[in-house]
């Protein structure tokens, strides 16, 4: 059902509790914490500008990292207030704590058209517990609630759900910010009745993570392309030799059911027909956490399916790239979630980049609607400089996946119906 958005709300002079996603990467440089990627902050600027135009008193709340309910100076939102202030060209006040006297005083001092950023809500364990008393304190004197943090909407936390309930109980409107509105439009409405041919591309590590998405999309897709490690569980189900590829033997029956459903519904389900394989060896190195690092040696292309017992499939091969790109070229709607291989290693990124190019090309050439369902596919597209060429790149990871599964996200459910 359609949710209220800030376009529908009259917020003149109102105190608006605004949940944003400022979970930004921070790095220490010369004793100061520096934000290394501003994407999440800039993504909220259109919403903030609209709220400012309306003369709202804006109270911003977010989490940053996983401080586990304790004050953790390395996860402070203070640097974000300074950056946001520069981006908006106006002052953004900062409250040392998201509840208590610091927050109350700062909120009381807010005038129409002014902004206040509260300290990390996860410094309090009650945030993740969605504690009702904490939500009431966090809400302060808010008369309206806005959620622009799609990436956190799958969590029923105090700032994503509890505060909305408090505000709604006061008779205040709860609406989506402009970023949230777009996420709901592209991952929701557009995929409800996609223009055909609808091509879905799924990759990544595990079938178990994405089976609900596969199952739901088999109801709508014309073509389903499966790459990444996930493809090897399907191959195992078909009796192929998968060597040392990452597989989930306990998901074989699930993969077989998906293959049967695809056949029954006339969905063209394509799996890899060739592979880039490499030999994993324990090179004696360890990562930062002391875990052994696997090195991949002797990469080579293998036509057909049977990998040697010592080899793992790490990317789709060139013939598969051709098949997948041909399917993508004819699409009018495309949804992509998950890389085609271990793209973090440049040697195994070609399949993912080729698919990214084909998606961008289909969008440019005949206006296909291309939706990238968050996480690693977004990283890969941006690395290849193709991010600007697709219709929508979701800002959610887990939230996008749950939304695509058809789940009701608590942070969305809490918003007022239009």
Give the residues lining the site for ligand AMP (CB under 6 A): 203-206, 209, 228-229, 246, 313-314, 338-339, 341-342, 344, 375-376
Output the smallest distance, CB 17 to ligand AMP, in A.
Answer: 32
Output the smallest distance, CB 315 to ligand AMP, in A.
Answer: 7
Q: Which of 113, 188, 387, 398 is catalytic?
A: 398
Q: Which of 14, 40, 165, 182 is catalytic?
A: 40
**49 or 310: CB nearest ligand AMP:** 310
**116 or 380: CB nearest ligand AMP:** 380
**Is 375 assigned a catalytic role?**
yes
Q: Which of 151, 203, 356, 375 is catalytic?
A: 375
Output the smallest distance, CB 404 to ligand AMP, in A.
Answer: 12
Q: Which of 65, 113, 206, 357 is catalytic?
A: 206
**Is 69 assigned a catalytic role?**
no
Output the smallest distance, CB 337 to ligand AMP, in A.
Answer: 7
Phi and psi at residue 239, to the nearest 5°: 90, 15
**Is 398 assigned a catalytic role?**
yes
The residue at minimum Cβ distance from ligand AMP is 204
**21 or 376: CB nearest ligand AMP:** 376
**219 or 344: CB nearest ligand AMP:** 344
**Tokens for 316?**
């789709």
Number of H helices and E strands in the chain, helices first, is 17, 17
Residues noted as catalytic: 40, 206, 375, 398
């Amino acid at each position: 059902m359609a949710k209220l958005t800030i376009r529908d709300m009259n917020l003149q002079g109102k105190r608006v509790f605004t949940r944003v996603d400022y979970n930004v990467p921070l790095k220490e440089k010369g004793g100061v914490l520096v934000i290394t990627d501003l994407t999440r902050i800039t993504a909220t600027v259109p919403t903030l500008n609209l709220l400012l135009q309306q003369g709202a008193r804006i109270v911003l709340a977010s989490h940053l990292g996983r401080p586990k309910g304790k004050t953790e100076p390395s996860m402070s939102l203070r640097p974000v207030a300074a950056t946001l202030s520069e981006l908006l060209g106006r002052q953004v006040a900062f409250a040392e704590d998201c509840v208590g006297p610091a927050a109350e005083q700062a909120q009381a001092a807010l005038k129409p058209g002014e902004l206040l950023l509260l300290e990390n809500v996860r410094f309090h364990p009650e945030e993740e517990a969605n504690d009702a008393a904490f939500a009431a304190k966090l809400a302060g004197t808010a008369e309206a609630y806005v959620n622009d943090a799609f990436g956190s909407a799958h969590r029923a936390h105090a700032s994503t759900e509890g505060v909305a309930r408090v505000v709604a109980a006061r008779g205040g409107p709860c609406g989506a910010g402009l970023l949230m509105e777009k996420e709901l439009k592209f991952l929701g409405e557009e995929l409800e009745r996609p223009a055909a041919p609808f091509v879905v591309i799924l990759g990544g590590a595990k079938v178990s993570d994405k089976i609900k998405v596969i199952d739901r999309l088999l109801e709508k897709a014309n073509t389903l392309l499966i790459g990444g490690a996930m493809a090897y569980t399907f191959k195992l189900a078909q009796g192929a030799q998968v060597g040392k590829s990452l597989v989930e033997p306990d998901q074989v029956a699930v993969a077989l059911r998906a293959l049967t459903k695809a056949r029954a519904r006339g969905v063209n389900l394509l799996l890899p027909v060739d592979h880039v394989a490499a030999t994993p060896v324990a090179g004696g190195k360890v990562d930062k956490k002391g875990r052994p690092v696997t090195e991949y040696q002797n990469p080579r292309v293998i036509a057909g399916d049977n990998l040697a017992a010592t080899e793992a499939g790490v990317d789709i091969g060139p013939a598969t790239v051709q098949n997948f790109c041909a399917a993508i070229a004819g699409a009018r709607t495309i949804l992509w979630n998950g890389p085609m291989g271990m793209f973090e290693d440049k040697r195994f990124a070609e399949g993912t980049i080729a698919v990214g190019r084909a998606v961008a090309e289909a969008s440019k050439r005949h206006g296909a609607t291309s939706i990238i369902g968050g996480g690693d596919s977004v990283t890969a597209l941006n690395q290849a400089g193709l991010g600007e060429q697709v219709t929508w790149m979701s800002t959610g990871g887990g939230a996008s996946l749950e939304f695509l599964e058809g789940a009701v996200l608590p942070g969305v459910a809490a918003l007022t119906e239009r």
